[in-house]
Structure 1
Amino acid sequence: MPHAPSYYAASALPQPQRPALQGTHRTDVCIVGAGYTGVSAALHLAEAGYKVHVLEAEQVGWGASGRNGGQIVHSFSRDMDTIESTYGPDVAKPLGAMIFEGAKIIRERVSRYGIQCDLKSGGIYAAYNARKTKQLQEHQSLWQRWGHPGMQLIVGDEIKHHVQSDLYHAILIDPTGGHIHPLNLALGQATALESLGGVISEHSPVMRVERPDSEGGKSRVHTSAGTVEANFVILAGNAYLGQLEPALAAKSMPCGTQVIATEPLGERWKQVLPTDHCVEDNNFLLDYYRLSGDKRLIFGGGVIYGARDPARIEQRVRPSLEKTFPQLRGVKIDYAWTGNFLLTLSRLPQVGRLHPGIYYSQGCSGHGVTFTHLIGRVLAEAIRGQAERFDAFARLPHYPFPGGRLLRVPLTALGAVWYDLRDRLGL
């Protein structure tokens, strides 16, 4: 299938043909999924001298890695205060030591391999009222406690130096945040992987992962037309893994989000986001937006639980765009698309082993751009025999959704309605 009809696909870097898997191949590590998690892990392993073969059902970056909002945001979907209070300091400490690493990996990759992905620095969190402003202050204090000073809280007229909107009571600026062309980041890393001898087979959906039949044996990853034998396997399909491993699907739920991109704004961009930072609000159902490299406004938001593709994406998202920026009322929308992310009940990622040589990572819960790059490094470390950081994630419990597969969507959606109502009422 082609990429989603997004601005990213329309402005993607040229790519070589990557033929589908045919016949039997042998490698050190086989990775299922050529999104950020898979390509990041593959690149770390290839840099360490491992032979790596990546199997992708569609094309590199076809899923969330090529459709997301493109924002570089630290930490996890549940931040360190929740992790500390829920799981205690022994669990929180090693995780907290990693929450700013993913963004550094992205910048290292872009610099080392000369990836053209419109990388910009600067991220903003925005609050609509005094209660939400207090949450920004707590956010600033929390990250400072975990070794991240330098964030700046702004209230009043100075907000418009950064965001030309009347909606916000306060903003919190993180100079180490930022934004990228997400598909080109994935494609650039894929090219880097191939330059180191890594192999990517596109249009190669995996049908079955066969466990080793003896201790020290190889796993076999089967597609309809070929097999890869490997010492290690990483499952990195996330929201697009489907039922390949039912045990993983049972404790996660695909969800959809919608994004639109305007026509190029020309000089009008300075009357929208004068400092060219990306922005997300801190509501439960948040809006997020930024400028592209050619100065379009890319604006996303909303969640469809269960990941069905909604009709009339523009009509869903445009009202929020025009409420935020009335000066863009009537602006032409050139692209509208949807994509899936994988939600977990805890909103924390699920990482572990299905077998001593079969690893997985999934469930970034809408917070995946930086985490996927971090966990790619961590998975590579585990395969190389350094599993301490991997185990810090693997010990997090994986909970099933209440109601099972039948009721997880309506029950989760009902809970979201409650939290969204609280945000709207300022409670």
Structure 2
Amino acid sequence: MANTPYPESYYAASANAVPPRPALQDDIETDVCVIGAGYTGLSSALFLLENGFKVTVLEAAKVGFGASGRNGGQIVNSYSRDIDVIERTVGPKQAQLLGQMAFEGGRIIRERVARYNIQCDLKDGGVFAAMTAKQMGHLESQKRLWERFGHTQLELMDQRRIREVVACDQYVGGMLDMSGGHIHPLNLTLGEAAAVESLGGTIYEQSPAVRIVRGANPVVHTPQGKVRARFIIVAGNAYLGNLVPELAAKSMPCGTQVITTEPLGEELAKTLLPQDYCVEDCNYLLDYYRLSGDKRLIFGGGVVYGARDPANIEAIIRPKMLKAFPQLKDVKIDYAWTGNFLLTLSRLPQVGRLGDNIYYSQGCSGHGVTYTHLAGKVLAEALRGQAERFDAFADLPHYPFPGGQMLRTPFAALGAWYYGLRDKFGY
């Protein structure tokens, strides 16, 4: 049987030690079978276990193999489309409920880290950096919007103030969110998996779901075993493949690239980001960066539509890093990798149920670290019969990409090219 290791990355190289987990080789029964051991699957499993369910998690590779173990590690609130866009789409009542949940994911992460003593280099504070006056105006509106939903840990920063927290001359101002922050994403995933097992949950690695037999008691087949369950939660996101065709039709895997420098040392690192906040700019095709626990700069950006792996990641991302921090021109890049996230046409997550007993959440559209933790709680509530918050997500409208799967990549890339030009010329 094939053994899929982690891709080479800084996160894999610095991951906490964990015990090996077996592949499923039996026919078993459980209350809930969760497909995917990333943030969505593990968050669902934890909430279900805490409420008395018997839970089995199937992972095609290793815990955190996908986006959960490869992302930029930034705790960013709300959704990829903000609450005002949701309000215009679905009206004030549904938007009110979704708005109340928009800041919950970060709280769940911190609660998990504290309760289960997860060692993942958690740091508070995230900066949205404006490159134009128009972007600054958007941040001013965003602050008012978020405060309307009770989120008050926000500070607008003028050009002088943002220079105190980011040693970069590209920005005209920004907004600091002290409920944002950053983590070692793979170590968070590994810690949550250990928490699942501490509560009696079972995780099988190298056990891809290859077929689902639907029915009153659905069955998930793997290459060497099968799981019969009362409920299934599908949490594969960009790594689900075509296991559930109706989910694949309304989403598109996309790749993002990340590089990590050699250790910078305490002194140089402190000159770049004196308060150790994470940063993302306000462009449509945004760049994001932060310091690791051992004082490397982790810098990411760019999107590859259709999730192809670029031939030379460093050649794509290093120029972006040097534009922000030219003082790093002689610094060596130790790691470069890519990871996939799942894009929806609306850029809002897709949540729903197939039949009576197969639940899913997918399509975070690049905004998944906090949302996936919320999604796990919402899915667990639905399985317990409390569906109001689940329904608020499930009722969001979603559409297939124009032209179907054949044309979704070029259409999306064309749209990104257009918005990239708008960013470049400040529109």
Check whether TM > 0.5. Answer: yes
> Which amino acid in structure 2 is aligned with residue 408 of structure 1?
R
In structure 2, C-alpha distance between the alignment counterparts of 1:150 and 1:373, rounded to whole Å? 20
Residue 172 of structure 1 aligns with an amino acid whose one-letter code is M
Structure 1 segments unaligned to the other structure (5+ residues): none
What SS does structure 2 have at the residue aligned with 1:69?
coil
Pairing 1:140–2:139 present:
no
Between the aligned partners of 1:64 and 1:186, the Cα distance in structure 2 is 10
Between the aligned partners of 1:126 and 1:191, the Cα distance in structure 2 is: 36
What does residue 367 of structure 2 align with?
367
Code of the aligned partner of 2:140: Q
**Counterpart residue number, 1:327:** 327
- Report the Cα distance in structure 2 between the residues aligned to 1:17 and 1:49, rounded to whole angstroms: 26
Alignment of structure 1 residues 267-346 onto 2, 5 Å:
267-346=267-346
Q: Matched residues in 2 for 1:261 and 1:71: separation? A: 15
- Between stretches 108-117 and 18-27, larger displacement belongs to 18-27
**2:210 corresponds to 1:211:** no
Q: Residue type of the partner of 2:105?
A: G
Counterpart amino acid of 2:32?
V
Query: Counterpart of 1:12?
Result: 15
Aligned to 1:109: 112
Question: Runs in 1 of length 4+ with deviation above 6 angstroms?
Answer: none
Q: Distance in 2 between matches of 1:355 and 1:209?
A: 13
Cα distance in structure 1, aligned partners of 2:73 and 2:376: 18
User: 5 Å matches for 1:347-366?
Assistant: 347-366=347-366
Match of 1:151 in 2: 154
- Which residue type is aligned with residue 133 of structure 1? M
What is the distance in 1 between the residues matched to 2:356 and 2:128?
Answer: 41
- The alignment status of 1:99 with 2:102, answered yes or no, reads yes
Give the C-alpha shift of residue 330 in structure 1.
2.3
Cα distance in 1 between the residues matched to 2:354 and 2:168: 48
C-alpha RMSD of the superposition: 0.7
Q: Which amino acid aligns with 2:186?
A: L
Deviation at 1:205, TM superposition (A): 0.7
Deviation at 1:27, TM superposition (A): 0.5
Q: Partner residue of 2:253?
A: 254
Count of residues in Structure 1 that have an aligned counterpart in Structure 2 = 423
The letter for the 2-side match of 1:84 is E
Distance 2:311 2:296 in 1: 23
Equivalent in the alignment of 1:37: 40
State the Cα deviation string for residues 82-134 of structure 1 (Å, max 9, x = none).
01112211221111110010000000000000000000000000011111111
Q: Give the structure 2 partner of residue 80 of structure 1.
A: 83
| SS of aligned partner of 1:206 | coil
Give 1:150 deviation, angstroms.
3.0
Which residue of the partner structure matches residue 31 of structure 2? 28
> What 5-or-longer segments of structure 2 have no aligned partner?
none
8 Å Cα contact 2:27-2:225 kept in structure 1: yes
SS in 2 for 1:422: helix
Kept after mapping to 1: 8 A contact 2:242/2:248:
yes
Q: Is the 8 A contact 2:154 2:178 kept in 1?
A: yes
Q: Deviations over 1:157-190 (max 9, x none)?
A: 2222100011000011001100000000000000
Aligned-pair identity in percent equals 66
Is the CA contact (8 Å cut-off) linking 2:161 and 2:173 kept in structure 1? Answer: no
Q: How big is the shift at 1:286?
A: 0.1
Instruction: Kindly provide the amino acid, as one letter, of the partner of residue 244 in structure 1.
Output: L
Q: 2: distance between equivalents of 1:52 and 1:230?
A: 9
Shift of 1:23: 1.5
Match of 1:241 in 2: 240
- Report the alpha carbon displacement of residue 398 of structure 1 after superposing the two structures with TM: 1.7
Please give the per-residue CA displacement for 1:200-248, whole angstroms capped at 9, x wherever unaligned.
0000011111112xxxx31111011101010000000000000001110
Q: Which region of structure 1 is more displaced relative to structure 2, 252-261 or 43-52? A: 43-52
Partner of 1:180: 183
Shift of residue 48, structure 1, vs aligned partner: 1.0
Structure 2: how far apart are the matches of 1:284 and 1:11?
31
Contact map agreement 2:35 2:236 (CA 8 A) in 1: yes
Deviations along 1:279-311, one digit per CA (max 9) or x if unpaired, are 000100000000000010000000000001111
Q: What is the alpha-carbon distance in structure 2 between the residues aligned to residue 400 and residue 70 of structure 1?
A: 29
Are the aligned partners of 2:124 and 2:277 in contact in 1 as well (CA < 8 Å)?
Answer: yes
**Structure-1 residue corresponding to 2:224:** 225
Match in the other structure for 1:199:
202
C-alpha distance in 2 between matches for 1:21 and 1:422: 50
TM-score under structure 2 length normalisation: 0.98
The 5-angstrom pairing of residues 44-59 of structure 1 reads 44-59=47-62
Q: Which amino acid aligns with 1:224?
A: P
Distance (Å, rounded) in 2 between the aligned partners of 1:133 and 1:171: 6
1:342: how far off? 0.1
